[in-house]
């Protein structure tokens, strides 16, 4: 069977499985949801059009929506690095803030038998109290403690940057889908920053502010209150004249200097702006009617339960600022007043219309009185010219890691650009047996230290598992974009596979491979004798990695979790991603493979590595047989074959490219007149011979 036929069969199987296997779906039924929201909360009926459960809370004799609960996998099944989407239970409050976020299930390799799931659980807890109205970015570990905006940033997890960004996108995408359907703000320009213009200032009296509509009034008369409560069988007022005001509120948005400075005075306005800080808003409410909506038992600094600020049909959290209350500008009515603070995280847009609502409360009955409420509202709007609007940064969330990791990507890109001419110019540095070994050791140290341990860009069979699962289940490859250094390396490796084959990655860019070579170099003074593996056994052992590769990809295509277990044959997660900080069995396995390397050079890479097997298969499509050979290679000369530590040169002198790790030793030898035996002999006889590439079998 030819390779092309095999690839066609595998492609057809992936398409077939993609049509047969179900897409990811949530796993919680009503009983499951109730375990996360126990009494006194009540789980309502699941929405027939959207997989969302309303969570209800009793308030004033009736049930109000406390949150909307949903599973992210139902609304935003973004595949993680295990190839399957994480499943997160999200509870979104009616104002767009996160009540709770819990991990239901995940297959992120770095957390499975690695860091453990506890850091992931702690990561999602950071969303509680944040708002889905604003963009939320994943920062570096302890980003918020280092000064990042607490309302727009969550602390990342070391060694799991890409996974946490996928999870962040899953949470936000699912939440916005619910927000569009249930809360009404999902279609707005999220992250828009609106601030009052500092030059929007002019001296205005209270009457002038009222004439412009910048100072508004909400008045509820006795007659209006009586009419509103009549159907409930209770009195709405104390029986005064019908036209007399019962609740009378004067209110205004204060951040605009022409309003705030004229109502409070320059000194108090400046103090208020310092108290607010950037992004927050202040609203003045003065009560000068017989009934004060704040209530007699109102606690300073709390959220008034009888005054509500809303925008776009959604309540906006407005908290009393608990600062000194003194009389305002001449002409401002006397009476108790409050300054309500609206935080930046609420997504409040002062340049758009908003509403102030006052709640009047009455009770019916004496032994077990029933609370009856009625609401009265007044709208408020200011000219757009009083504000500056700063649009959020454009682009999907996967652009964030590209900006954040741009320095790492640039360093790796420069290293790759520098590697190509070294490998391509065989009579350059490669032919210098003095300088080339030092260059190779330095590059391997860079691969291990920077690419592996620092940039966390160790390529792995896990990515191939993710690709298979994406092809058969999610049909989404976006997860690759969240790890820029690895994606850059994958692109380079795939390109060089078509030129040089597997060896460019396995011999130069694999951090674990570099670790093995560097350990072997450091152990040279020990003079450890290499074990000579019998040829027949060697050929049999080399097939093991292909069997392992087939088992991993087949179980991944069938959706079996066994693929994750089989992928642990790679020690990359232990030795590179987690710096050996794992449970003892995994550490012993990785250390054992490094120890094996001292006796059977890169034994893991030659016999067990499933990623190397996959690259070897694709590498058979290379365009060139690029390693030069002489007619004497293999017969009679066996010098290169004996010196090849990978066993990639056959007895007849031909190169076994799928097993070649591109160490370039044989090229150094063949271009060195002092080492190449046929050339040494030819020089003694006074003639020259040329080296030419020889086609592999």
* Of 483, 504, 482, the residue nearest 493 (C-alpha): 504
Sequence-ordered alpha helix ranges (H) in 502-654: 503-504, 511-522, 535-542, 544-557, 562-567, 572, 584-597, 603-607, 610-619, 639-643
Per-residue confidence (pLDDT) for residue 624, from 0 to 100:
80
* Of 669, 676, 629, 673, the residue nearest 653 (C-alpha): 629
Strongest mean pLDDT among 84-98, 222-236, 294-308, 597-611: 597-611
* Of 645, 644, 631, the residue nearest 677 (C-alpha): 631
The ranges assigned to domains in the chain are 3-183, 194-390, 406-624
Per-residue confidence (pLDDT) for residue 4, from 0 to 100:
44
Cα angle, residue 673 at apex, residues 668 and 675 outer, rounded to 5°: 60
* Of 467, 604, 446, the residue nearest 514 (C-alpha): 446
Q: In whole angstroms, give the CA distance from residue 571 to residue 596.
A: 13
Q: In whole angstroms, give the CA distance from residue 284 to residue 229.
A: 28
The gap from C-alpha 524 to its chain's centroid, in whole angstroms, comes to 43
Q: In whole angstroms, give the CA distance from residue 583 to residue 587.
A: 6
Per-residue confidence (pLDDT) for residue 520, from 0 to 100:
94
Which residues are CB-contacts of 653 (< 8 A; sequence separation ≥ 6)? 629, 633, 634, 635, 637, 640, 641, 694
**pLDDT of residue 12 exceeding 60:** no
129-138, 544-553, 574-583: segment of lowest average pLDDT: 129-138
Instruction: Using DSSP, state whether 414 is helix, strand or coil.
Output: helix
As a whole number, mean pLDDT of residues 447-474 equals 86
Confidence bin at 23 (pLDDT 50/70/90): very low
Q: Which two tokens stand for residue 665?
A: 């030793």
Does residue 494 or residue 336 have the better pLDDT?
Answer: 494
Q: What is the DSSP letter of 45?
A: P
Residue 170 contacts residue 78 (beta carbons within 8 Å) = yes
Percent of the chain having pLDDT more than 70? 86
As a whole number, mean pLDDT of residues 606-635 equals 90
Pairing of strands 628-629, 692-693: antiparallel
pLDDT digits (tens, 9 = 90+) for 155-203: 888 777 778 888 988 898 888 888 877 776 654 455 568 889 999 899 9
Per-residue confidence (pLDDT) for residue 148, from 0 to 100:
55
Residue 166, CB-side half-sphere exposure with 13 Å CA sphere: 31
Q: In whole angstroms, give the CA distance from residue 146 to residue 26.
A: 37
* Of 380, 310, 381, the residue nearest 346 (C-alpha): 310
As a whole number, mean pLDDT of residues 617-646 equals 88
62-76, 315-329, 506-520: segment of lowest average pLDDT: 315-329
pLDDT digits (tens, 9 = 90+) for 224-258: 988 888 887 777 777 778 888 888 999 999 999 99
Per-residue confidence (pLDDT) for residue 689, from 0 to 100:
60
**pLDDT of residue 343 exceeding 60:** yes
Per-residue confidence (pLDDT) for residue 170, from 0 to 100:
87
What average pLDDT does the structure give for the chain?
Answer: 84
Name the phi and psi angles at 66, rounded to 5. Answer: -85, -35
Write the CA distances from 602 to 95, 334, 511, 518, 561, integer angstroms.
Answer: 58, 86, 13, 11, 29
Beta bridge partners of 314: 311
Q: In whole angstroms, give the CA distance from residue 123 to residue 106.
A: 14
Q: In whole angstroms, give the CA distance from residue 464 to residue 110.
A: 15
Q: What is the DSSP letter of 131?
A: B
Per-residue confidence (pLDDT) for residue 98, from 0 to 100:
93
Per-residue confidence (pLDDT) for residue 39, from 0 to 100:
84
pLDDT digits (tens, 9 = 90+) for 405-431: 899 999 999 999 999 999 988 888 988
The reported pTM is: 0.63
Write the CA distances from 67 to 40, 57, 63, 135, 330, integer angstroms.
Answer: 13, 9, 12, 20, 44
Q: In whole angstroms, give the CA distance from residue 57 to residue 685.
A: 99
As a whole number, mean pLDDT of residues 379-398 equals 78
Strongest mean pLDDT among 135-144, 162-171, 364-373: 162-171
Q: Which two tokens stand for residue 235?
A: 């009195």
Instruction: Using DSSP, state whether 669 is helix, strand or coil.
Output: helix
């Amino acid at each position: 069977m030819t390779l092309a036929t095999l690839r066609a069969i595998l492609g057809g199987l992936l398409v077939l499985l993609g049509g047969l296997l179900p897409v990811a779906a949530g796993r919680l039924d009503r009983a499951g949801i109730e375990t996360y929201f126990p009494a006194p909360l009540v789980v309502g009926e699941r929405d027939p059009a959207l997989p969302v459960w309303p969570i209800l809370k009793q308030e004033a004799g009736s049930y109000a929506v406390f949150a909307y609960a949903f599973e992210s996998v139902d609304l935003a099944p973004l595949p993680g690095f295990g190839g399957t989407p994480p499943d997160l239970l999200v509870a979104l409050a009616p104002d767009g803030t996160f009540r709770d976020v819990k991990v239901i299930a995940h297959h992120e390799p770095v957390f499975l038998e690695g860091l453990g799931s506890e850091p992931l659980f702690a990561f999602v807890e950071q969303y509680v109290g944040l708002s889905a109205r604003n963009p939320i970015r994943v920062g570096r570990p302890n980003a918020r403690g280092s000064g990042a905006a607490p309302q727009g940033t969550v602390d990342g997890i070391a060694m799991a940057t890409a996974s946490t960004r996928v999870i962040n996108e899953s949470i936000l995408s699912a939440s916005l889908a619910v927000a569009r359907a249930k809360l009404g703000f999902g279609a707005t320009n999220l992250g828009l920053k609106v601030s009052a213009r500092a030059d929007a200032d002019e001296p205005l009296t209270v009457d002038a502010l009222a004439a412009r509509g910048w100072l508004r009034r909400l008045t509820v008369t006795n007659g209006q209150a009586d009419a509103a409560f009549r159907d409930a069988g209770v009195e709405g007022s104390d029986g005064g004249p019908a036209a007399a005001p019962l609740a009378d509120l004067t209110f205004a948005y204060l951040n605009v200097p022409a309003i705030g400075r004229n109502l409070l005075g320059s000194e108090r306005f400046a103090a208020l702006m310092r108290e607010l800080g950037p992004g927050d808003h202040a609203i003045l409410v003065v009560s000068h009617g017989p009934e004060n909506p704040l209530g007699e038992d109102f606690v300073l600094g709390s959220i008034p339960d009888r005054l509500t600020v809303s925008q776009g049909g959604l309540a906006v959290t407005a908290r009393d600022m608990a600062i000194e209350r003194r009389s305002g500008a001449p002409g401002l009515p006397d009476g108790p007043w409050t300054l309500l603070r609206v935080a930046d995280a609420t997504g409040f847009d002062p340049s758009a219309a908003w509403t102030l609502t006052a709640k009047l409360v009455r009770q019916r009955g004496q032994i077990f009185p029933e609370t009856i409420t009625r609401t009265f509202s007044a709208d408020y709007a200011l000219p757009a010219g009083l504000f500056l609007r700063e649009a959020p940064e454009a682009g999907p969330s996967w652009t964030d890691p590209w900006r954040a990791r741009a320095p790492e990507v640039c360093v790796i890109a420069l290293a790759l650009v520098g590697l190509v001419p070294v490998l391509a110019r065989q009579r350059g540095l490669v032919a210098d047996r003095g300088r080339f070994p030092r260059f190779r050791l330095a590059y391997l140290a860079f691969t291990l230290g920077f690419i592996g341990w620092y940039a966390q860009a160790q390529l792995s069979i896990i990515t191939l598992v993710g690709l298979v699962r994406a092809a058969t289940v999610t049909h989404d490859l976006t997860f690759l974009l969240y790890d820029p250094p690895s994606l850059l390396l994958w692109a380079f490796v795939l390109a060089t596979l078509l030129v040089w084959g597997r060896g460019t990655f396995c011999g130069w860019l694999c951090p674990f491979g570099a670790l093995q070579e560097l350990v072997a170099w450091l152990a040279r003074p020990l003079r450890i004798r290499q074990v000579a593996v019998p040829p027949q056994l060697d050929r049999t052992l080399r097939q093991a990695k292909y069997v392992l590769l087939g088992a991993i990809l087949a179980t991944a295509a069938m959706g079996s979790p066994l693929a994750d277990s089989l992928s642990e044959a790679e020690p990359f997660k232990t030795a590179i991603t987690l710096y050996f900080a794992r449970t003892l069995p995994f550490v012993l396995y990785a250390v054992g493979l490094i120890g094996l390397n001292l006796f059977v050079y890169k034994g893991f890479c030659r016999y067990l590595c499933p990623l190397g097997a996959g690259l070897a298969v694709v590498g058979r499509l290379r365009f060139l047989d690029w390693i030069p050979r002489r007619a004497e290679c293999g017969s009679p000369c066996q010098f290169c074959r004996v010196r090849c530590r990978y066993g990639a040169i056959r007895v007849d002198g031909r190169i076994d490219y799928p097993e070649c790790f591109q160490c370039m030793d044989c090229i150094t030898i063949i271009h060195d007149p002092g080492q190449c035996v046929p050339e040494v002999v030819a020089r003694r006889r006074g003639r020259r011979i040329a080296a030419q590439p020889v086609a592999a079998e």
